Each structure stands twice: as structure tokens, then as C-alpha cells.
Amino acid sequence: MTTEDRSSPRRTSVLPGMRPDPDAPLAVLGAWARVWGPDPLRIQGPGGNLSVKRDANLWIKASGSRLDRASSDHGWTEVDWRSCRDALPPPRPGIPGRAAEAAYAELVLRAPRTPAMPRPSMELGMHAVLRARHVAHLHSLSGILTAAMRHGDPRLAVLLHPVRSAGFAVRRVPAARPGLELTWAIARRLEPPTDDTDTLYLLANHGVVWVSNDATRIRQAESDFEARARDVLGLASFGPPEVTEGPNGLECHFDAWPELAWEPRPTFPDFAVFFPDPECQPALRGRSIRVPEGLPPRDAAELVFAQALVGTRARALGLDVVLPRRVANTVAALVLERLRRAPSMGVA
Ligand SMILES: [Zn+2]
């Protein structure tokens, strides 16, 4: 067997007559993608990333791809996670400078086991510093609203009860740019030597990261949290908009919603990444949002849905969900974000 054969992401395929192993890394990832990928309350456009480690190998979502198009043999790439972790620019006080960001981008671009494998998610660093076998990062709108609550808010105890009673620790992470800055922010929250215990990281303005050695425990706790949060946060009456295509872009119609409070400033990084031009932003017109052309319609509609829902419910719940300006103004220029955006924009 060659080195390339050993590291092939198709290594979990089974011979005729053999039963597939449901705990095999790509079987776990494929099952997660089937459940979470099609749900715009959890994932929008090419967002979110999942990974599984086994020994030195880490399988992770390919960058720029939609999770609902991934399966147990497609949409993933493979890296040596310990090498990636050891090569990360070490966390320093403050945010990463230009040299550290450049070194990180180079590390991610060179990470695949073989040159034929796709580029990994730009959140590779975060997945590599978390030692637990399974890591699931979702752009959960419930997670964004929950993370916007202040310490001591009595609603937090209700929202997080299913998480804590399932045995997961909860750690909060302040707003950060995706990639190296988020990796450093997560690294600062690790508590060695128990940093592979079941944990939910609540990322301000970004979503959730579920961490466990047991994939089944993540599935159950994540599902229980989403059910509780959607109920407590009143998300049930706010379905995806009706979308029509015009000559200059999309119109997303929110007439079926009980109310619409459009926040024009980004509430999460992907809104800033995929609508980077201040002169060409989605804009409110009556009960509709007009979306400039450029993105695939489904990606654009999901991002606008998320921005509309977070903004509308945040106003009703008394929460501040505006992405800090420092993050919003700089995230779209990151090298890895430009590469991730390029296929969606038809640039590369
Ligand atoms: Zn993310």
C-alpha cells in the first residue's frame, strides 16, 4: 500500500458483504452532514465545519463547500492534526498580526495529506487545538442569540439546562475573526489536561462548537439544545423567506413573519465576508430584502434569512448582536476568506 493509499479519504469504503462501520470517521461526518447540512437555522451557504480525529489523522470539511452537498465519501479532506497544531503561530496577547495571519494561511493551504486533496476549512487551527475526537462547528442562530446574553441573564440557565444536564461544560468565547484569531481565542479557553471533555463553546456573533470523544453524545445534546432554544427564543414563527429572482438580484419576502427588524450591520462574520462591498449591500424595501447579484441564490437567501432572524429576534429579546466593527471591517480581507468566497462569487 502506498502512502497515498493509506491516507485516502475513501479508506472507510467497505468490501461487498461487509457491514459499514457507523463509527468510522467518514461515516460519522456523512451522517452529521445529512442531518445538519440542509437546516438554515444551523448552517448557511458554505458555512460551518466538522471534523473527526483518529490517531494522527483528522478528517475535516473542505473549504468553501456546502455541508448539504457532503456525504460519507465526498466533501472532506485529511490532515495530520498534531503537525498542524504544533506549527500554529503560538497564542500571544491581543489579536494576530499580519505575519501570524500569513503563516497561518500558509499552514492551512499546505495541510492536506496529498496535493490532490481539497483545501481544508479555514477553521483547521481551532479543530487542531481541540484534542477531543469529534468537533462540530455550526452557525447556529440559536447559538448566536444565546451567546449575546449577558452573564447572569436568567434565560441562560433555561437555555443551557439541556446542555449541562447532558454533562457538557459551557465555555464562552468573545467575538473573533474566523481562522487564527478564533483558534487563539479557543486555545485560551482550554483547560489542560481535561480539554477533551464534553464541551459546548458558545462563540459570540458566530455560533457553536460542540466537542466530545463520543459522536452520539454531540448529536443528542445538540438536538436537545436546538429544540429548547428555538422554543425559548421564539424562532418557530419565522420560516425562510419566499425568494424571487429579478434582473439585478434576489428579493427575499418576509410577509409571513409576525414582524421584521432588519439590522443592516453584520451580526455574524459570513454576512461581512459574502457581502463585502459597502456600496452593494442587501437592503430593506417594505417587508422584503433586495439582495445584490453575485452569490448563488440559495447561499444568498440563507445568509439574508439568518441576518433577518438574528436581528429581528434580538430586538424583541433586548440583545445586542451587531458584530464588533473591528471584526466586521477586516474579516473579508483575510486571505483564507478571499479564497473561500472566490468559488461562490464565480471568481476561481
Ligand atoms: Zn464559522
pLDDT tens digits along 4-55: 334 444 444 556 666 678 789 999 999 999 999 999 999 999 999 999 999 9
Q: Would you say residue 89 has pLDDT above 70?
A: yes
Residue 136 CA to ligand 1 center (angstroms) comes to 10
Between 218 and 345, the higher pLDDT residue: 218
Q: Would you say residue 225 has pLDDT above 60?
A: yes
Sheet containing 57-61: order of strands: 76-80, 57-61, 49-54, 134-138, 207-212, 199-203, 169-173
Residue 114 CA to ligand 1 center (angstroms) comes to 25
Residue 247 CA to ligand 1 center (angstroms) comes to 31
Residue 38 CA to ligand 1 center (angstroms) comes to 16
Residue 290 CA to ligand 1 center (angstroms) comes to 25
Across the range 215-227, mean pLDDT stands at 98
Q: What is the pLDDT of residues 290-304, one digit of tens each?
A: 999 999 999 999 999
**What does each C-alpha distance from 109 to 102, 280, 345 come to in angstroms?**
11, 30, 20
d(CA 267, CA 271): 7
Residue 145 CA to ligand 1 center (angstroms) comes to 15
Across the range 116-133, mean pLDDT stands at 96
The reported pLDDT for the residue numbered 300 is: 97
Residue 182 CA to ligand 1 center (angstroms) comes to 9
The reported pLDDT for the residue numbered 68 is: 95
Angle, CA of 187, 34 and 163, to the nearest 5°? 45
User: Do 200 and 117 contact (CB within 8 A), yes or no?
Assistant: no
Q: Would you say residue 203 has pLDDT above 70?
A: yes
Residue 308: all three cell numbers together:
433577518
Residue 269 CA to ligand 1 center (angstroms) comes to 8
Residue 210: all three cell numbers together:
460542540
The reported pLDDT for the residue numbered 23 is: 83
Residue 129 CA to ligand 1 center (angstroms) comes to 16
Band (pLDDT 50/70/90 cuts) for residue 348 is very low
Q: With H, G, I as helix, E, B as strand and everything else as coil, classify residue 217.
A: helix
Q: Would you say residue 1 has pLDDT above 50?
A: no
Residue 157 CA to ligand 1 center (angstroms) comes to 24
Q: Would you say residue 285 has pLDDT above 70?
A: yes
Residue 243 CA to ligand 1 center (angstroms) comes to 25
What is the residue-wise DSSP string for 126-173?
Answer: HHHH--SSEEEEE--HHHHHHHTSPTT-HHHHHHHHHHHHTT-EEEEE
The reported pLDDT for the residue numbered 17 is: 66
The H helix count followed by the E strand count for the chain is: 13, 11
Residue 152 CA to ligand 1 center (angstroms) comes to 26
Residue 185 CA to ligand 1 center (angstroms) comes to 13
Residue 249 CA to ligand 1 center (angstroms) comes to 26
In the chain, what percentage of residues exceed pLDDT 90?
84
Residue spans of the domains in the chain: they are: 22-232, 242-345
Of 190, 40, 217, 63, nearest in space to 134 by CA: 217
Q: How many CB atoms lie within 10 A of CB 348?
A: 9
Residue 174 CA to ligand 1 center (angstroms) comes to 13
Residue 64 CA to ligand 1 center (angstroms) comes to 11
Residue 48 CA to ligand 1 center (angstroms) comes to 5
The reported pLDDT for the residue numbered 211 is: 97
Band (pLDDT 50/70/90 cuts) for residue 152 is very high
Please tell me the pTM assigned to this model.
0.92
Q: Mean pLDDT in the chain?
A: 92
User: What backbone phi and psi angles, to 5 degrees, belong to 330?
Assistant: -120, -15
**Which stretch of 122-126, 269-273, 280-284, 332-336 has the lowest confidence by average pLDDT?**
332-336
Across the range 87-96, mean pLDDT stands at 94
Residue 209 CA to ligand 1 center (angstroms) comes to 9
Between 91 and 3, the higher pLDDT residue: 91
Q: Name the residue with cell 467497505.
A: 14
Residue 15 CA to ligand 1 center (angstroms) comes to 36
Residue 78 CA to ligand 1 center (angstroms) comes to 19
The reported pLDDT for the residue numbered 127 is: 98
Q: Which fold has domain 22-232?
A: L-fuculose-1-phosphate Aldolase (3.40.225)
Residue 340 CA to ligand 1 center (angstroms) comes to 12
Q: Return the amino acid letter for 79.
A: V
Residue 10 CA to ligand 1 center (angstroms) comes to 26
Across the range 161-189, mean pLDDT stands at 97
The reported pLDDT for the residue numbered 10 is: 46
